[in-house]
C-alpha cells in the first residue's frame, strides 16, 4: 500500500470500494444528515461525489443550488460558476467551463499583438532617422510594451499548463482550502484525463461535469513515471 493511500486514510474511509472524502470535517459515512436529493439536479450532483457525501455541504449559501465538484460561487457575478477559474476584472466576467478556451485564445492574440508591435517599434527605431526626443519617447513606450509582453506571455504559459492538466487557477491557488482537494498530493491532478483528452474537452466544447476520482484512480495517477510509461505516452 502506498504512502499516498495511507496518508489519505487518516481523513476518509472506504465505502463500497470507493474512497469517501470528508467534507468540511464531517465524515460523510457518519450519516451526518445525508439528505435525499430533492431534484434531478441534486441527484446528478450527488453522483459526482463519493458515496455517502451529504448534499447539505454541497449547497451554495447564496444561490441555494447544489454545487458539483469544481464549481464556486462568484461574488462579483452573484452566481455559481462551473469549473470556476477566476473572475477577470478586465473582461468583467468569470472565466469558467465554457469560456476557458476563448480566454486562452484571447491572451494568445494579445501575445501575438505584443510581439508584432515590438517588431514594428524596433524596426522604426533603427531604420528611420528622427530627433533624439522622439527616440526617447519610443524607448519609453518600448519598455512599457516589453513589460506588458512578459506579463501576457507568462499568463499564456500558465493557462496552457492549466488546460493541459485540466486544472483551474482557483484549484491551483486555493487547493488547501477546497475540502475534496486538500488531501490529494500536489503533484496529482485529480481531474486530468491525459493531455489529449484534456485538450479535446476544452477546445472542442465537450463540457461535462467532472466527478471526483476514486482512491484507486488517484493512486494510479500518483504512480511515478517509468520508461515504459514514457514509451506508452501515459501522460497523453
Ligand atoms: Zn452560488
Ligand atoms: Zn464572476
Which ligand gives the minimal distance to the CA of 74?
2
Q: Which of 12-26, 35-49, 79-93, 122-136 has the lowest mean pLDDT?
A: 12-26
Tell me if 100 sits within 8 A of 85, measured CB to CB: yes
> From CA 211, how far away is CA 206, in angstroms rounded?
15
Q: Which of 37, 42, 4 is nearest to 187 (CA)?
A: 4
> From CA 113, how far away is CA 149, in angstroms rounded?
9
Which ligand gives the minimal distance to the CA of 73?
1
- Return the SS3 of 193: coil
The question of whether 88 is a catalytic residue gets the answer: yes
Q: How much distance in Å is there from the Cα of 219 to the middle of ligand 1?
A: 32
Tell me if 44 sits within 8 A of 58, measured CB to CB: no
> From CA 223, how far away is CA 210, in angstroms rounded?
21
pLDDT interval class at 93 (50, 70, 90): very high
> Is pLDDT at 36 greater than 70 in this prediction?
no
Q: Provide mean pLDDT across the span 139-143.
A: 93
> Is pLDDT at 96 greater than 50 in this prediction?
yes
pLDDT tens readout for residues 211-220: 888 877 787 7
pTM of the model: 0.76
Beta strand extents in the chain (DSSP E only): 12-15, 18-21, 72-74, 79-81, 86-88, 93-95
Q: How much distance in Å is there from the Cα of 102 to the middle of ligand 1?
A: 23
Q: What is the mean pLDDT of the chain?
A: 80
The pLDDT, as a whole number, for residue 223 is 72
> From CA 110, how far away is CA 113, in angstroms rounded?
5
Q: Which of 119-133, 168-182, 218-232 has the lowest mean pLDDT?
A: 218-232
Amino acid at each position: 500500500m502506498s504512502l499516498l493511500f495511507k496518508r489519505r486514510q487518516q481523513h476518509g474511509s472506504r465505502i463500497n470500494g470507493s474512497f469517501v472524502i470528508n467534507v468540511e470535517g464531517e465524515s460523510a459515512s457518519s450519516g451526518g444528515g445525508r439528505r435525499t436529493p430533492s431534484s434531478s439536479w441534486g441527484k446528478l450532483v450527488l453522483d459526482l461525489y463519493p458515496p455517502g457525501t451529504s448534499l447539505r455541504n454541497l449547497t451554495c449559501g447564496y444561490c441555494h443550488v447544489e454545487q458539483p465538484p469544481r464549481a464556486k460561487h462568484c461574488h462579483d457575478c452573484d452566481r455559481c460558476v462551473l469549473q470556476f477559474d477566476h473572475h477577470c476584472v478586465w473582461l468583467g466576467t468569470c472565466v469558467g467551463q465554457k469560456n476557458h478556451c476563448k480566454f486562452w485564445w484571447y491572451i494568445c492574440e494579445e501575445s501575438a499583438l505584443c510581439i508584432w508591435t515590438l517588431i514594428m517599434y524596433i524596426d522604426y527605431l533603427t531604420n528611420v532617422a528622427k530627433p533624439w526626443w522622439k527616440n526617447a519617447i519610443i524607448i519609453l513606450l518600448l519598455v512599457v510594451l516589453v513589460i506588458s509582453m512578459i506579463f501576457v506571455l507568462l499568463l499564456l504559459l500558465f493557462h496552457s499548463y492549466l488546460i493541459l492538466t485540466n486544472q483551474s487557477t482557483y484549484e491551483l491557488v486555493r487547493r488547501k482550502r477546497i475540502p475534496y482537494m486538500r488531501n490529494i498530493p500536489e503533484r496529482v491532478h485529480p481531474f486530468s484525463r491525459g493531455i489529449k483528452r484534456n485538450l479535446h474537452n476544452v477546445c472542442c466544447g465537450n463540457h461535462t461535469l467532472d466527478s471526483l476520482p476514486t482512491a484507486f484512480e488517484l493512486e494510479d495517477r500518483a504512480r511515478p513515471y517509468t520508461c515504459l510509461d514514457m514509451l506508452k505516452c501515459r501522460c497523453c
